[in-house]
Amino acid sequence: MRRVAVINQKGGVGKTTTTVNLGAALARLGQRVLVCDLDPQCNLTVHLDIDPCAPEACIYDVLVGKAGLTDVARATDQDGLWVAPAGSDLAGVEVELASELGRELLLREAFDRDAAARELPYDFILVDCPPSLGLLALNALVACDEVLVPIQAEFFALQGLGKLLEVVDLVQRRLNPRLRISAMVSCRHDPSTNLSRQVIADVRDHFGKVLLDTVIRRNVKLAEAPSHGKTIFAYDPASRGAEDYLALAQEVIDLTTKSEPTVTAPTTTAKPVGNGHVTEPPPPATPPPTALRSTDGALPEAPDESGSRVAETTEETS
Ligand SMILES: Nc1ncnc2c1ncn2[C@@H]1O[C@H](COP(=O)(O)OP(=O)(O)OP(=O)(O)O)[C@@H](O)[C@H]1O
Ligand SMILES: [Mg+2]
Protein backbone atom coordinates (compact mmCIF):
# COMPACT_ATOMS: atom_id res chain seq x y z
CA MET A 1 0.00 0.00 0.00
CA ARG A 2 1.31 3.44 -0.95
CA ARG A 3 0.49 6.31 1.39
CA VAL A 4 0.86 9.66 -0.34
CA ALA A 5 0.57 13.13 1.21
CA VAL A 6 -0.51 15.69 -1.41
CA ILE A 7 1.01 18.82 0.02
CA ASN A 8 2.15 22.35 -0.73
CA GLN A 9 1.61 25.10 1.80
CA LYS A 10 0.95 27.49 -1.07
CA GLY A 11 -2.79 27.85 -1.52
CA GLY A 12 -4.78 27.15 -4.67
CA VAL A 13 -2.11 25.19 -6.56
CA GLY A 14 -4.33 22.17 -7.24
CA LYS A 15 -3.85 19.88 -4.23
CA THR A 16 -7.51 19.02 -3.80
CA THR A 17 -8.21 18.75 -7.53
CA THR A 18 -5.22 16.44 -7.82
CA THR A 19 -6.13 14.28 -4.83
CA VAL A 20 -9.69 13.72 -6.08
CA ASN A 21 -8.92 13.19 -9.74
CA LEU A 22 -5.65 11.32 -9.34
CA GLY A 23 -7.52 9.07 -6.89
CA ALA A 24 -10.32 8.54 -9.40
CA ALA A 25 -7.84 7.95 -12.23
CA LEU A 26 -5.92 5.39 -10.18
CA ALA A 27 -9.22 3.66 -9.42
CA ARG A 28 -10.00 3.57 -13.15
CA LEU A 29 -6.67 1.87 -13.67
CA GLY A 30 -7.72 -0.89 -11.27
CA GLN A 31 -6.25 0.41 -8.01
CA ARG A 32 -8.22 0.55 -4.75
CA VAL A 33 -7.88 4.09 -3.48
CA LEU A 34 -8.86 5.94 -0.31
CA VAL A 35 -8.70 9.74 -0.46
CA CYS A 36 -8.58 11.50 2.93
CA ASP A 37 -9.61 15.09 3.53
CA LEU A 38 -7.23 16.54 6.10
CA ASP A 39 -8.08 20.16 5.30
CA PRO A 40 -10.53 22.08 7.53
CA GLN A 41 -11.76 23.83 4.37
CA CYS A 42 -13.37 20.44 3.54
CA ASN A 43 -12.97 21.09 -0.21
CA LEU A 44 -12.29 17.45 -1.06
CA THR A 45 -15.35 16.38 0.92
CA VAL A 46 -17.58 18.82 -0.94
CA HIS A 47 -15.92 17.90 -4.26
CA LEU A 48 -17.13 14.34 -3.68
CA ASP A 49 -20.63 15.54 -2.84
CA ILE A 50 -20.56 14.96 0.92
CA ASP A 51 -21.97 17.50 3.35
CA PRO A 52 -19.21 18.49 5.82
CA CYS A 53 -21.89 19.50 8.33
CA ALA A 54 -23.50 16.04 8.39
CA PRO A 55 -23.24 14.31 11.76
CA GLU A 56 -21.58 11.12 10.48
CA ALA A 57 -18.10 10.23 11.73
CA CYS A 58 -15.26 11.78 9.77
CA ILE A 59 -11.50 12.25 9.82
CA TYR A 60 -11.70 14.30 13.04
CA ASP A 61 -13.00 11.20 14.84
CA VAL A 62 -10.07 9.23 13.46
CA LEU A 63 -7.57 11.81 14.76
CA VAL A 64 -9.05 11.87 18.24
CA GLY A 65 -9.22 8.06 18.36
CA LYS A 66 -13.00 7.73 18.32
CA ALA A 67 -13.14 5.88 14.99
CA GLY A 68 -10.93 3.90 12.65
CA LEU A 69 -10.09 4.95 9.13
CA THR A 70 -12.17 2.15 7.61
CA ASP A 71 -15.12 3.17 9.83
CA VAL A 72 -15.26 6.64 8.30
CA ALA A 73 -14.39 5.63 4.73
CA ARG A 74 -17.36 5.91 2.37
CA ALA A 75 -17.77 4.47 -1.09
CA THR A 76 -18.07 6.95 -3.96
CA ASP A 77 -19.79 6.69 -7.33
CA GLN A 78 -16.48 5.62 -8.81
CA ASP A 79 -15.70 1.91 -8.37
CA GLY A 80 -12.51 1.46 -6.37
CA LEU A 81 -12.58 4.95 -4.84
CA TRP A 82 -13.41 5.62 -1.18
CA VAL A 83 -13.30 8.87 0.73
CA ALA A 84 -12.58 9.67 4.38
CA PRO A 85 -14.37 13.02 4.59
CA ALA A 86 -13.69 16.01 6.81
CA GLY A 87 -16.34 17.73 8.89
CA SER A 88 -16.59 21.25 10.18
CA ASP A 89 -15.15 20.05 13.52
CA LEU A 90 -11.73 19.67 11.90
CA ALA A 91 -11.30 23.45 12.02
CA GLY A 92 -10.68 23.46 15.78
CA VAL A 93 -8.50 20.38 15.97
CA GLU A 94 -5.11 22.14 15.90
CA VAL A 95 -6.04 24.20 18.96
CA GLU A 96 -7.80 21.31 20.65
CA LEU A 97 -4.77 19.05 20.36
CA ALA A 98 -2.19 21.75 21.07
CA SER A 99 -1.17 20.23 24.39
CA GLU A 100 -1.67 16.57 23.45
CA LEU A 101 1.51 14.52 23.78
CA GLY A 102 2.50 12.93 20.46
CA ARG A 103 -0.09 14.99 18.59
CA GLU A 104 1.84 14.71 15.31
CA LEU A 105 1.55 10.89 15.41
CA LEU A 106 -2.24 10.62 15.57
CA LEU A 107 -2.95 9.85 11.92
CA ARG A 108 -0.12 7.34 11.68
CA GLU A 109 -1.36 5.57 14.78
CA ALA A 110 -4.83 5.40 13.23
CA PHE A 111 -3.37 3.96 10.00
CA ASP A 112 -1.35 1.44 11.98
CA ARG A 113 -4.28 0.47 14.22
CA ASP A 114 -6.45 -0.26 11.19
CA ALA A 115 -3.70 -2.07 9.38
CA ALA A 116 -3.09 -4.29 12.42
CA ALA A 117 -6.77 -4.98 13.13
CA ARG A 118 -7.80 -5.77 9.56
CA GLU A 119 -5.62 -5.28 6.57
CA LEU A 120 -6.40 -1.88 5.02
CA PRO A 121 -7.99 -2.87 1.71
CA TYR A 122 -6.34 -0.13 -0.36
CA ASP A 123 -3.51 0.08 -2.85
CA PHE A 124 -3.24 3.84 -2.34
CA ILE A 125 -4.15 6.27 0.42
CA LEU A 126 -3.97 9.89 -0.79
CA VAL A 127 -4.11 12.60 1.86
CA ASP A 128 -5.22 16.10 0.82
CA CYS A 129 -3.38 18.57 3.07
CA PRO A 130 -4.32 22.11 4.04
CA PRO A 131 -2.34 25.07 2.67
CA SER A 132 -0.14 25.35 5.76
CA LEU A 133 2.60 23.44 7.54
CA GLY A 134 0.74 23.11 10.83
CA LEU A 135 -0.26 20.10 12.89
CA LEU A 136 -2.56 18.55 10.28
CA ALA A 137 0.08 18.69 7.56
CA LEU A 138 2.60 17.26 10.02
CA ASN A 139 0.25 14.37 10.77
CA ALA A 140 0.04 13.64 7.04
CA LEU A 141 3.83 13.67 6.66
CA VAL A 142 4.29 11.35 9.61
CA ALA A 143 1.58 8.94 8.41
CA CYS A 144 2.64 8.75 4.76
CA ASP A 145 5.64 7.30 2.94
CA GLU A 146 5.52 9.56 -0.09
CA VAL A 147 5.04 13.24 -0.75
CA LEU A 148 3.43 14.51 -3.95
CA VAL A 149 3.86 18.25 -4.43
CA PRO A 150 1.54 20.00 -6.88
CA ILE A 151 3.08 23.23 -8.10
CA GLN A 152 1.89 26.02 -10.34
CA ALA A 153 4.29 27.29 -12.97
CA GLU A 154 4.18 30.95 -12.16
CA PHE A 155 6.27 33.70 -10.61
CA PHE A 156 5.99 32.49 -7.01
CA ALA A 157 6.18 28.77 -7.83
CA LEU A 158 9.23 28.03 -5.74
CA GLN A 159 8.61 30.48 -2.95
CA GLY A 160 7.95 28.35 0.09
CA LEU A 161 9.15 25.12 -1.54
CA GLY A 162 12.42 25.40 0.38
CA LYS A 163 10.49 25.53 3.64
CA LEU A 164 8.40 22.52 2.62
CA LEU A 165 11.51 20.51 1.79
CA GLU A 166 13.08 21.52 5.10
CA VAL A 167 10.03 20.26 6.98
CA VAL A 168 9.97 17.01 4.98
CA ASP A 169 13.67 16.56 5.73
CA LEU A 170 13.12 17.18 9.44
CA VAL A 171 10.15 14.80 9.63
CA GLN A 172 12.17 12.18 7.80
CA ARG A 173 15.10 12.47 10.20
CA ARG A 174 13.12 12.68 13.43
CA LEU A 175 9.76 10.99 12.97
CA ASN A 176 9.35 9.05 9.75
CA PRO A 177 12.47 7.65 8.06
CA ARG A 178 10.39 6.17 5.22
CA LEU A 179 9.24 9.58 4.02
CA ARG A 180 10.48 10.82 0.65
CA ILE A 181 9.41 13.30 -1.97
CA SER A 182 8.36 11.01 -4.76
CA ALA A 183 6.93 13.52 -7.21
CA MET A 184 6.16 17.08 -8.15
CA VAL A 185 3.52 17.86 -10.73
CA SER A 186 2.74 21.07 -12.54
CA CYS A 187 -0.96 21.86 -12.19
CA ARG A 188 -3.17 24.47 -13.84
CA HIS A 189 -0.44 24.47 -16.44
CA ASP A 190 -0.47 26.92 -19.31
CA PRO A 191 2.21 25.85 -21.77
CA SER A 192 1.55 28.81 -24.04
CA THR A 193 3.38 31.36 -21.90
CA ASN A 194 7.13 31.86 -21.84
CA LEU A 195 6.99 32.35 -18.08
CA SER A 196 5.36 28.98 -17.52
CA ARG A 197 7.88 27.21 -19.77
CA GLN A 198 10.79 28.96 -18.06
CA VAL A 199 9.58 28.16 -14.55
CA ILE A 200 9.12 24.50 -15.47
CA ALA A 201 12.60 24.43 -17.02
CA ASP A 202 14.03 25.93 -13.83
CA VAL A 203 12.17 23.42 -11.64
CA ARG A 204 13.43 20.57 -13.85
CA ASP A 205 16.99 21.86 -13.64
CA HIS A 206 16.82 21.80 -9.90
CA PHE A 207 14.59 18.80 -9.13
CA GLY A 208 15.24 16.62 -12.18
CA LYS A 209 13.12 13.48 -12.45
CA VAL A 210 11.14 14.30 -9.33
CA LEU A 211 9.18 16.69 -11.54
CA LEU A 212 6.90 14.34 -13.45
CA ASP A 213 6.64 14.48 -17.23
CA THR A 214 2.88 14.70 -17.08
CA VAL A 215 1.44 18.17 -16.57
CA ILE A 216 -2.14 19.01 -15.69
CA ARG A 217 -3.23 21.65 -18.14
CA ARG A 218 -5.65 24.39 -17.30
CA ASN A 219 -9.05 22.98 -18.11
CA VAL A 220 -12.34 24.61 -17.24
CA LYS A 221 -14.00 21.21 -16.77
CA LEU A 222 -11.68 20.54 -13.84
CA ALA A 223 -12.85 23.79 -12.27
CA GLU A 224 -16.52 23.00 -12.92
CA ALA A 225 -16.54 19.39 -11.69
CA PRO A 226 -16.48 20.23 -7.92
CA SER A 227 -19.62 22.34 -8.16
CA HIS A 228 -21.40 19.22 -9.47
CA GLY A 229 -19.91 17.07 -6.70
CA LYS A 230 -18.19 14.88 -9.30
CA THR A 231 -14.76 13.70 -10.26
CA ILE A 232 -13.63 14.75 -13.73
CA PHE A 233 -14.37 11.21 -14.95
CA ALA A 234 -17.98 11.39 -13.84
CA TYR A 235 -18.33 14.98 -15.06
CA ASP A 236 -16.57 14.90 -18.43
CA PRO A 237 -14.52 11.79 -19.14
CA ALA A 238 -13.59 13.07 -22.60
CA SER A 239 -12.04 16.31 -21.31
CA ARG A 240 -8.35 17.18 -21.38
CA GLY A 241 -8.51 17.22 -17.58
CA ALA A 242 -9.54 13.55 -17.52
CA GLU A 243 -6.83 12.73 -20.06
CA ASP A 244 -4.14 14.47 -18.00
CA TYR A 245 -5.13 12.84 -14.71
CA LEU A 246 -5.13 9.39 -16.33
CA ALA A 247 -1.62 10.05 -17.65
CA LEU A 248 -0.60 11.24 -14.18
CA ALA A 249 -2.03 8.11 -12.56
CA GLN A 250 -0.08 5.87 -14.92
CA GLU A 251 3.12 7.80 -14.22
CA VAL A 252 2.53 7.58 -10.46
CA ILE A 253 1.97 3.80 -10.71
CA ASP A 254 5.15 3.50 -12.79
CA LEU A 255 7.18 5.34 -10.13
CA THR A 256 7.48 2.10 -8.18
CA THR A 257 9.30 0.47 -11.06
CA LYS A 258 11.62 3.42 -11.77
CA SER A 259 14.73 4.13 -9.74
CA GLU A 260 14.11 6.18 -6.64
CA PRO A 261 13.67 9.88 -7.43
CA THR A 262 16.18 12.28 -5.96
CA VAL A 263 15.61 15.55 -4.20
CA THR A 264 18.43 17.80 -3.14
CA ALA A 265 18.57 19.48 0.25
CA PRO A 266 16.15 22.31 1.05
CA THR A 267 16.19 25.18 -1.43
CA THR A 268 15.73 28.04 0.98
CA THR A 269 18.05 30.18 -1.06
CA ALA A 270 16.13 29.73 -4.34
CA LYS A 271 14.72 33.11 -5.25
CA PRO A 272 12.46 34.23 -8.07
CA VAL A 273 14.14 37.01 -9.99
CA GLY A 274 12.70 39.75 -12.16
CA ASN A 275 11.48 37.58 -15.04
CA GLY A 276 10.21 34.75 -12.85
CA HIS A 277 13.31 32.61 -13.29
CA VAL A 278 14.67 30.89 -10.26
CA THR A 279 18.28 31.32 -9.32
CA GLU A 280 20.23 28.12 -8.80
CA PRO A 281 20.77 27.62 -5.06
CA PRO A 282 24.32 26.90 -3.86
CA PRO A 283 25.22 23.28 -3.08
CA PRO A 284 23.96 22.10 0.31
CA ALA A 285 26.28 22.49 3.27
CA THR A 286 25.47 18.97 4.44
CA PRO A 287 24.53 16.01 2.25
CA PRO A 288 20.81 15.28 1.95
CA PRO A 289 19.50 12.29 3.90
CA THR A 290 20.02 8.85 2.38
CA ALA A 291 16.48 8.29 1.13
CA LEU A 292 16.67 11.57 -0.79
CA ARG A 293 19.99 10.79 -2.46
CA SER A 294 20.79 8.75 -5.53
CA THR A 295 23.06 5.82 -4.88
CA ASP A 296 26.13 7.65 -6.19
CA GLY A 297 25.11 10.90 -4.49
CA ALA A 298 24.92 12.65 -7.87
CA LEU A 299 22.31 15.21 -8.78
CA PRO A 300 19.70 13.90 -11.22
CA GLU A 301 19.87 14.61 -14.92
CA ALA A 302 17.27 17.07 -16.13
CA PRO A 303 14.99 15.19 -18.53
CA ASP A 304 14.94 16.13 -22.17
CA GLU A 305 12.23 18.72 -22.85
CA SER A 306 11.02 16.60 -25.76
CA GLY A 307 10.04 13.86 -23.33
CA SER A 308 7.49 16.13 -21.72
CA ARG A 309 3.82 15.44 -22.29
CA VAL A 310 3.00 19.16 -22.38
CA ALA A 311 0.47 19.99 -25.10
CA GLU A 312 1.35 22.97 -27.22
CA THR A 313 -1.95 24.77 -26.84
CA THR A 314 -3.83 26.02 -23.81
CA GLU A 315 -6.93 24.00 -23.07
CA GLU A 316 -9.81 25.86 -21.51
CA THR A 317 -13.01 24.40 -22.87
CA SER A 318 -12.94 20.63 -23.23
N1 LIG B 1 -6.05 22.19 -14.08
C2 LIG B 1 -6.96 23.09 -13.67
N3 LIG B 1 -7.62 23.86 -14.57
C4 LIG B 1 -8.52 24.78 -14.19
N5 LIG B 1 -8.84 25.01 -12.90
C6 LIG B 1 -8.24 24.28 -11.95
C7 LIG B 1 -7.27 23.28 -12.28
N8 LIG B 1 -6.82 22.72 -11.13
C9 LIG B 1 -7.48 23.33 -10.14
N10 LIG B 1 -8.34 24.26 -10.62
C11 LIG B 1 -9.17 25.17 -9.85
O12 LIG B 1 -8.31 26.03 -9.11
C13 LIG B 1 -8.82 26.26 -7.81
C14 LIG B 1 -7.80 25.78 -6.78
O15 LIG B 1 -7.64 24.38 -6.92
P16 LIG B 1 -7.57 23.43 -5.65
O17 LIG B 1 -8.71 23.71 -4.73
O18 LIG B 1 -7.41 22.05 -6.14
O19 LIG B 1 -6.23 23.96 -4.98
P20 LIG B 1 -5.68 23.65 -3.54
O21 LIG B 1 -4.21 23.66 -3.62
O22 LIG B 1 -6.32 22.43 -2.99
O23 LIG B 1 -6.22 24.91 -2.73
P24 LIG B 1 -6.10 25.13 -1.14
O25 LIG B 1 -4.68 25.50 -0.90
O26 LIG B 1 -7.07 26.23 -0.84
O27 LIG B 1 -6.48 23.84 -0.48
C28 LIG B 1 -10.15 25.52 -7.73
O29 LIG B 1 -11.17 26.41 -8.05
C30 LIG B 1 -10.02 24.45 -8.82
O31 LIG B 1 -11.28 24.06 -9.35
MG1 LIG C 1 -7.34 22.16 -1.18
pTM, two decimal places: 0.84
Q: What is the pLDDT of residue 266?
A: 36
* CA 283 to ligand 2 centroid distance, Å: 33
Give the domain extent around 83.
Answer: 2-307
Q: Is residue 315 part of a domain?
A: no
Q: What is the pLDDT of residue 318?
A: 54
Alpha-carbon distance of 270 to 255, in angstroms, equals 27
Q: Is residue 312 part of a domain?
A: no
Strand-strand pairing, 81-84 and 74-75: antiparallel
- At residue 35, φ and ψ (nearest 5 deg) are -105, 135
Q: What is the pLDDT of residue 155?
A: 75
* CA 193 to ligand 2 centroid distance, Å: 25
Q: Is residue 36 part of a domain?
A: yes
State the total domains in the chain: 1
Q: Which residues line ligand 1 (CB under 6 A)?
A: 11-17, 39, 41, 43, 131, 187-188, 216, 218-219, 222-223, 226
Mutating to test ligand 1, I would choose from 6, 7, 10, 16 the residue with most ligand atoms within 8 A of its C-beta, which is 16
Ligand nearest to the CA of 232: 1
Alpha-carbon distance of 21 to 9, in angstroms, equals 20
Which ligand 1 atom minimizes the distance to the CA of 224?
A: 31
Q: What is the pLDDT of residue 313?
A: 39
Q: Is residue 185 part of a domain?
A: yes
Q: Is residue 53 part of a domain?
A: yes
Which ligand 1 atom minimizes the distance to the CA of 218?
A: 3
Furthest CA-CA distance within the chain:
55
Query: 300 and 294 in contact (C-beta within 8 Å)?
Result: yes
Q: Is residue 314 part of a domain?
A: no
* CA 42 to ligand 1 centroid distance, Å: 13
Ligand nearest to the CA of 18: 1
Q: Is residue 243 part of a domain?
A: yes
Q: Would you put residue 69 in left (φ > 0), alpha (ψ -120 to 50) or beta?
A: alpha
* CA 295 to ligand 1 centroid distance, Å: 36
Ranges of residues in the chain whose predicted pLDDT is under 50: 259, 262, 264-317
Which ligand 1 atom minimizes the distance to the CA of 226?
A: 31
Torsion of CA 77, 82, 87, 89, to 10 degrees: 170
DSSP code of 312? S
For 280-285, the CB contacts below 8 A with 24+ separation are: 280/205, 280/206, 281/162, 281/206
* CA 28 to ligand 1 centroid distance, Å: 22
**Residue whose CA is at the smallest distance from ligand 1 atom 9:** 14
Q: What is the pLDDT of residue 295?
A: 31
Q: Is residue 313 part of a domain?
A: no
Query: Domain of 253: which CATH number?
Result: 3.40.50.300
Q: What is the pLDDT of residue 153?
A: 86
Q: What is the pLDDT of residue 192?
A: 86
